[in-house]
């Protein structure tokens, strides 16, 4: 970067520091939260809030969890955050960074609207055995799953306690005995990673086994999709669900956590478990999705909620392949390179997996940096086809951002299947500002926003039929009659 470029960036970062907003003025139900690993060996993990359209340019609220909870912090290397029914679930690898003075938690539960901490748990395995956190998935209003270095654990959302392990998800090597840097230990073999729900089941990426199929009624593995369909020693990287309801797997070269990826993606039908192996080169992508079992992150592999498209970061290097973003149009069967940071000549890289797409705007948010020894970080906002919209410089800090998450995201009420097109399933439809009910078996229908707040309750006539005007602000909602749940979109023009 030229001297002028460095000076411009320094001025921008200084301005960003000056225009950081006070926590008391923040609406955490809007914008983007960036979950940060933060500086291992020095600090516990942090969360920053980005208000991307702030009229006054006060875009950032730094260390929002600490600001809202004086004397409390997250755990060490918090890689994952997920909204579920009005709460935010933050999962860390360990409960306290070696350089931190405050103990946080492997599990942190906060109010989604205020970020006030409701509860923290230092351990995931109630026995006390080492079990480092990975991800979270809301399963029902009463139950969530937490993936870890040793299995998937059942989390009671009423008591906020771990009640047991999902049978069949355990690490074959047992619990780990080392720390985050013990790459030779069992923490880095046989881990569970990303999870998605589809067709009434939960699907889990298991490092040494493949894609686990879990029955959430019995909390046990009922089937496995093995990765030898790609190559003899191949492993799974991650799993995402596309808008059409299909599952997509990234492919690791092996199950040893080397970080090497194979140039394939795998399509899985969540009902029949039928698979299709797709060569990335055949569809126009030079590289397949990168994976990160060697130092687990949620991976730069994600799907649009609005279009039948998936995205991934990938490149020639197995560790932090972070300069290229590919877009795969599922319906057309074509992939394209939509962002190549190398072309800019400014030495920017995506940090790890910190790239995701907004569920309502279809805009991509990405954290970029120069290198591990440089405290310069910028969050970028792109269109869905990779055109830069805006940059948001940050104050200098070793943020090591892990994941953008969206308060307005489409978290369904339960693992029960929802519509493929987000418009209708069964007997509940939302069309032109009215809710159409047909053949209902319940006497009440409730509408919830994405933070779990009830915005409307409708008494269903004895006939089970009716049309009810429902003026909703633009966004996504969950409609439930207690038997089934569907996602609906309200047009922003209302």
Pair 50, 137 in one domain: yes
Q: Is 178's pLDDT higher than 60?
A: no
Pair 284, 428 in one domain: no
What band does 491 get if pLDDT is binned at 50, 70 and 90? low
What band does 14 get if pLDDT is binned at 50, 70 and 90? very low
Q: Tens digit of pLDDT for each residue in 296-328?
A: 999 999 999 889 999 999 998 766 668 999 999
What percent of the chain is modeled with pLDDT above 90?
66
Residue (of 98, 96, 60) closest to 78 by Cα position: 96
Angle of CA points 427, 430, 435, to nearest 5°: 75
Q: Residue 452 to residues 29, 345, 448: CA-CA distances in angstroms? A: 11, 44, 6
Pair 263, 149 in one domain: yes
Pair 436, 401 in one domain: no
Q: Tens digit of pLDDT for each residue in 256-299?
A: 998 899 999 999 999 999 999 999 999 999 999 999 998 999 99
Task: Average the pLDDT over each of 29-38, 53-62, 416-425, 442-451 and give the range with the smallest value.
Answer: 416-425
Of 405, 436, 462, which residue is a domain's last? 405
d(CA 138, CA 488): 19
- In this prediction, residue 186 carries a pLDDT of 52
Task: Average the pLDDT over each of 124-133, 233-242, 416-425 and give the range with the smallest value.
Answer: 416-425
Pair 64, 187 in one domain: yes
* 89 in any annotated domain: yes
Pair 331, 474 in one domain: no
Check which CATH number belongs to the domain holding 460 and give it: 2.60.40
Mean pLDDT value across residues 20-40: 85
* 418 in any annotated domain: no
Q: Is 409's pLDDT higher than 80?
A: no
- In this prediction, residue 318 carries a pLDDT of 60
Check which CATH number belongs to the domain holding 81 and give it: 2.130.10.10
d(CA 260, CA 293): 10
* 64 in any annotated domain: yes
d(CA 117, CA 110): 4
C-beta of residue 34 within 8 angstroms of C-beta of residue 367: yes
d(CA 100, CA 92): 14
Of 353, 374, 405, which residue is a domain's last? 405
Residue (of 121, 151, 147) closest to 134 by Cα position: 147
Six token digits for residue 4: 């002028």
Pair 353, 247 in one domain: yes
Q: Tens digit of pLDDT for each residue in 52-75?
A: 999 999 999 999 999 999 999 999
- In this prediction, residue 494 carries a pLDDT of 30
Q: Tens digit of pLDDT for each residue in 342-358?
A: 999 999 999 989 999 99
DSSP 8-state assignment for residue 187? G
- In this prediction, residue 20 carries a pLDDT of 59
Residues whose CB is less than 8 angstroms from the CB of residue 448 and which lie 6 or more positions away in sequence, other chains included = 85, 413, 454, 455, 477, 478, 479, 480
d(CA 188, CA 118): 31
Read off the pTM.
Answer: 0.81
Residue (of 81, 92, 117) closest to 406 by Cα position: 81
Residue (of 307, 175, 300) closest to 237 by Cα position: 300
- How many domains does the structure of the chain reveal? 2
Residue (of 436, 422, 421, 424) closest to 470 by Cα position: 436
What band does 430 get if pLDDT is binned at 50, 70 and 90? confident
Six token digits for residue 163: 């009640």
* 419 in any annotated domain: no
* 411 in any annotated domain: no
* 27 in any annotated domain: yes
* 412 in any annotated domain: no
Pair 471, 333 in one domain: no
d(CA 327, CA 284): 10
- Cβ-defined contacts of 198-202 (< 8 Å, 24+): 198/241, 198/245, 198/247, 198/270, 198/417, 199/245, 199/270, 199/271, 199/417, 200/415, 200/416, 200/417, 201/270, 201/415, 202/137, 202/139, 202/145, 202/415
Of 405, 438, 459, which residue is a domain's last? 405
Pair 340, 268 in one domain: yes
The boundaries of the domain holding residue 480 are: 424-490
Pair 100, 190 in one domain: yes
Pair 395, 338 in one domain: yes
The better pLDDT of the pair 160, 419 is held by 160
Tell me how crowded residue 254 is: count the other CB atoms within 10 A of its CB.
18
Pair 115, 69 in one domain: yes
* 414 in any annotated domain: no
- In this prediction, residue 31 carries a pLDDT of 94
Question: How many CA within 13 A on the CB side of residue 56?
Answer: 7
Please tell me the total number of residues recorded for the chain in this structure.
Answer: 494
């Amino acid at each position: 970067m030229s001297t002028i470029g460095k000076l411009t960036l320094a001025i921008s970062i200084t301005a960003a520091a000056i225009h950081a907003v006070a926590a008391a003025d923040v609406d955490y139900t809007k914008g983007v939260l960036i979950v940060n690993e933060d500086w291992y060996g020095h600090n516990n993990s942090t969360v920053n809030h980005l208000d991307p359209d702030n009229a006054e340019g006060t875009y950032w609220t730094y260390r929002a969890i600490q600001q809202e909870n004086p004397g409390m912090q997250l755990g060490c290397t918090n890689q994952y955050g997920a909204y579920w029914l009005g709460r935010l679930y933050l999962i860390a690898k360990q409960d306290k960074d070696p350089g931190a003075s405050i103990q946080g938690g492997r599990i942190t539960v906060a109010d989604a609207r205020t970020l006030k901490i409701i509860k923290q748990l230092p351990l995931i395995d109630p026995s006390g055995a080492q079990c480092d956190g990975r991800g979270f998935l809301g399963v029902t209003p009463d139950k969530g799953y937490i993936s870890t270095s040793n299995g998937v654990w059942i989390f009671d959302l009423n008591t906020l306690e771990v009640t047991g392990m999902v049978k069949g998800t355990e690490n074959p090597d047992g619990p780990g005995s080392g720390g985050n840097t013990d790459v030779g230990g069992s923490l880095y073999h046989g881990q569970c990673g990303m999870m998605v729900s589809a067709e009434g089941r939960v699907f889990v990426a298991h490092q040494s086994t493949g894609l686990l199929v879990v029955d959430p009624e019995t909390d046990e593995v009922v089937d496995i999709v093995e990765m030898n369909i790609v190559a003899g020693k191949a492993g799974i990287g991650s799993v995402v669900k596309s808008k059409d309801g299909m599952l997509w797997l990234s492919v690791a070269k092996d199950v040893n956590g080397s970080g090497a990826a194979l140039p394939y993606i795998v399509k899985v039908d969540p009902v029949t478990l039928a698979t299709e192996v797709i060569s990335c080169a055949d569809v126009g992508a030079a590289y397949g999705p990168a994976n990160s079992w060697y130092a687990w992150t949620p991976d730069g592999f994600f799907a649009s909620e609005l279009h039948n498209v998936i995205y991934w970061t990938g490149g020639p290097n197995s560790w932090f392949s972070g300069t290229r973003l590919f877009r795969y149009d599922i319906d057309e069967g074509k992939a394209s390179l939509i962002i190549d940071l190398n072309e800019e000549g400014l030495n920017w890289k995506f940090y790890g997996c910190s790239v995701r797409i907004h569920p309502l705007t279809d805009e991509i948010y990405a954290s970029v940096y120069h290198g591990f020894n440089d405290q310069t970080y910028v969050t970028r906002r792109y269109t869905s086809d990779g055109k830069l919209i805006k940059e948001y410089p940050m104050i200098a800090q070793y943020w090591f951002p892990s994941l953008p998450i969206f308060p307005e995201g489409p978290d369904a009420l339960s693992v029960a299947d929802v519509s493929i097109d987000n418009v209708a399933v069964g007997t509940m439809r939302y069309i032109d500002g009215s809710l159409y009910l047909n053949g209902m078996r319940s006497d009440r229908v409730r509408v919830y926003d994405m933070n779990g707040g009830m915005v409307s309750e409708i008494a269903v006539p004895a006939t089970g039929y009716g049309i009810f005007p429902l003026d909703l602000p633009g966004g996504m909602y969950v409609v439930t009659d207690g038997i089934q749940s569907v996602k609906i979109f309200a047009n922003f023009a209302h």
